[in-house]
Chains A and B, each alone.
Chain A
Amino acid sequence: EPEVTQTPSHQVTQMGQEVILRCVPISNHLYFYWYRQILGQKVEFLVSFYNNEISEKSEIFDDQFSVERPDGSNFTLKIRSTKLEDSAMYFCASSLSFLGEQYFGPGTRLTVT
């Protein structure tokens, strides 16, 4: 069964450093998402991406964040200058249709020290 994959599973970085989180969505899906879950808190939406552009973003997704689909398979989330409060589990999700099921990857645990 096709699934969303994410790398790395765990990333440790120092405050102020740039990180790139990688995702491979399900191959025929068209809508891509990033969410995050701070430990002990709710899953929060960050950004949605369709047709090579951002379709929606939350207030969390400020200028420090960017997303890219550099080729036909990868979908990346870049944080330019990480802060301690960026420590969280980051989930990528993909969907075949606009209001369809969103399938999540296993997540990348980002720890900013």
Chain B
Amino acid sequence: SQQGEEDPQALSIQEGENATMNCSYKTSINNLQWYRQNSGRGLVHLILIRSNEREKHSGRLRVTLDTSKKSSSLLITASRAADTASYFCATVEETSGSRLTFGEGTQLTVNP
């Protein structure tokens, strides 16, 4: 698998439900960042989690990081139609300066 692979590729849920997206990576990392992208628009930074952190919260977002499994998850609670977007994880690898390596993304659709 490639660095920063998201799972699932697409997720469709009803408003009010929780959405969980997963990200796996291959190499040792300094941090992992989650972004949201609305169709054809810019990347909005959601949350950064460092390699020595296991969980972080920001509003309705909860991110976990398991460095032993090289995986991260993004949980969006009580989803809204406005959460419809693509979600990407991006890693800063230990051996690659500060560049971000992005995954393919998960397309989340929240139905009203």
Residues of A within 8 A of B (CB): 31, 33, 35, 42-45, 48, 55-56, 58, 89, 91, 93, 95, 98-107
Contacts and interface: CB of A to CB of B under 8 A. Distances in A.
Interface stretch (B20-28, B76-84, B97-105): B97-105
Nearest to B104: A42
A33 B41 contact: no
A89 B37 CA distance: 13
B92 A45 contact: no
Interface of B: 30-31, 33, 35, 40-45, 48, 50, 88, 90, 92, 96-105
Contact of B31 (A33, A43, A44, A99): A99
Contacts of A105: 42
Contacts of B96: 56
A59 B97 CA distance: 15
| Interface of chain A: mostly helix, strand, loop or mixed | strand
B99 A104 contact: no
Given A35-B100, A58-B99, A95-B98, A43 B42 contact: no
A107 B41 contact: yes
11 contacts: A42-B102, A43-B102, A48-B98, A56-B97, A93-B43, A95-B98, A99-B50, A101-B33, A101-B45, A101-B48, A104-B44
B92 to A, nearest CB: 6
A27 to B, nearest CB: 17
A42 B35 CA distance: 13
Given A93-B43, A99-B92, 11 more contacts: A35-B100, A42-B103, A48-B97, A48-B98, A48-B99, A56-B97, A56-B98, A104-B35, A104-B44, A105-B42, A106-B42
